[in-house]
Amino acid sequence: MTSLFKSIPVRSSEITPKDTYLSRRDFMKAATVATGAALLAACAPTAADDLQNAKPVPTSDATDELGNVVNTYDDITNYNNYYEFTTDKSGVARLAKNFTTSPWTVEVSGLVNNPKTFGIEDLLKDFQQEERIYRLRCVEAWSMVIPWTGFSLASLLKIVEPTSDAKYVRFETVLRPEEMPGQGNRSYPWPYQEGLRLDEAMNELGFLATGLYGEPNVPQNGAPIRLVVPWKYGFKSIKSIVKIELVAEEPSTLWSAIQSNEYGFYANVNPNVDHPRWSQGSERRIGELSRRETLMFNGYDEQVAYLYDGMDLGQNF
Ligand code: MTE
């Protein structure tokens, strides 16, 4: 176990326990909310009640291995890309609020010796859940630092035993237009699909997230289970997965099907290869004013650069 996890930037034991997420500063903020509520009470009792009952928004002083402080729970759960609901980042949380995440199954099939359909409760019980703090860099040039809970993708793939013909892994999001209004938009080839090369998928950084900030995941962030591939642009980190298929050929992905010259299969974070319409050299960290330089492989080069030895990353973007 130790050797497997040696390369992982932040292990669960290094993350602030859930109970201490609320720092003194945050309790001060909460106190301010209560004062505001008292003032409001005179003219708007309903709003004031809401405020007085509101729990303080969790924040944390935990950092990733580079010293970046995690984003607030509020940032992470209210600024989202989830086109199945809406293309408006601040509108996803509201539209996804009642999305049904239970019961839920994930079928793992294709070129494997042991195909299996897992109930979400089995995935939570049978795979040791750990926390990892990862940077998320969106292709749109904004970024966050997120404390996820979940388990490694490699540990799931090992259970189903990919055959020697399996070269890629294909992921699929649930297709449920009755609950996901964005799936009514015919400009996109639903369901959302993504893919990784098998050796990329077996890298220990690949993560299936079931929780966030020590709590179960919420719909806007891909509940009940979503992929997190921290060295690639955020669109590879597919949400609300129902199917994982081992295949021989490079799978089609939603974004490359729409715009292959802008969103390639590899999508490794790379400050030297610009998007055709904007620079990828820097990024806006949500919650910060000035821009930061974007790091090669989003700062995970030590763990993943070997996967691309001899490859032209300008061609395979
Ligand atoms: N997965 C699905 N099914 N649908 C989406 O629209 N958006 C992707 C990715 N996964 C998306 C998705 C993009 S572009 C990003 S940047 C991340 O989710 C955002 O994850 P977050 O909202 O949890 O920060």
Protein residue with least CA distance to atom 6, ligand 1 = 82
Q: Are 104 and 120 in contact (CB under 8 A)?
A: yes
Interval 179-195 mean pLDDT: 97
244 alpha carbon – ligand 1 mean position (Å):
17
53 alpha carbon – ligand 1 mean position (Å):
31
Protein residue with least CA distance to atom 5, ligand 1 = 82
The atom of ligand 1 lying closest to the CA of 80 is 22
With the most atoms of ligand 1 within 8 angstroms of its CB, the residue from 92, 239, 253, 263 to mutate is 239
Superfamily per CATH, domain 12-308: Oxidoreductase, molybdopterin-binding domain (3.90.420.10)
What is the structure's pLDDT at 3?
32
Domain extents for the chain? 12-308
Range name among 9-13, 130-134, 285-289 with the lowest pLDDT average: 9-13
Closest CA to 193 of 139, 118, 244: 244
Q: Give the span between the Cα atoms of 196 and 308, in whole angstroms.
A: 13
- Asked if pLDDT for residue 78 goes beyond 90, the answer is yes
Residue found by looking up tokens 């940032």 in the block: 75
What is the structure's pLDDT at 44?
35
With the most atoms of ligand 1 within 8 angstroms of its CB, the residue from 70, 142, 235 to mutate is 235
Instruction: Measure Cα distances from 55 to 31, 130, 211 in Å.
Output: 11, 25, 19
What is the structure's pLDDT at 57?
74
pTM for this model (two decimals) = 0.86
- Asked if pLDDT for residue 33 goes beyond 60, the answer is no
- Looking at every residue in the chain, the average pLDDT score rounds to 87
- Asked if pLDDT for residue 23 goes beyond 80, the answer is no
- Asked if pLDDT for residue 89 goes beyond 90, the answer is yes
